[in-house]
Amino acid sequence: MAKVLTGDGWRLELPDGLISKPHKAWDYGSGAIARGWIGDAPVTVIVQTKQLRGGFNDWVRRVASHWLEQQPLRRLAVPGAGDAVRIDGYVEFDGLGAVDDREQCIAVCAKSRRRAVALTIRSRPEDAVQAELEPIVDSFELVGAEEG
């Protein structure tokens, strides 16, 4: 069973094992964080919004610049977005208790006009829950704004 989480211009579906609350990261305007469990695996989902001051591609490069390693960036279709890029890889973060603090990370950076929205999903690689995370990514959409 999934529950719908909405924010300032975005929407997605979360598994029931995750609990969300408002959260605003530095340099972002608004957002939400959801933490919890998918089976026995701890998972964190974060969505943040911001106004783009520069170009979308520059922002995506900045988001990806601190990752330990990543697959090639790839464009994807996000409903309501004029452009979107997915990043898959690994970040160093001591939040989920991953071996060597090496967390698996999925980021989807989407934009509509000058508004950017970042979806980030972190999990432990050793839990192998990638298939359970894909429905979250697939449900992500921008709402209430024109594409472009």
pLDDT digits (tens, 9 = 90+) for 96-124: 776 788 889 999 999 998 999 999 999 98
Name the pLDDT band for 18 (thresholds 50, 70, 90). very high
Instruction: Read off the pTM.
Output: 0.92
Nearest C-alpha neighbor of 110 from the set 139, 145, 138, 86: 86
More confident residue, 81 or 92: 81
pLDDT digits (tens, 9 = 90+) for 19-73: 999 998 888 889 999 999 999 999 999 999 999 999 999 999 999 998 999 999 9
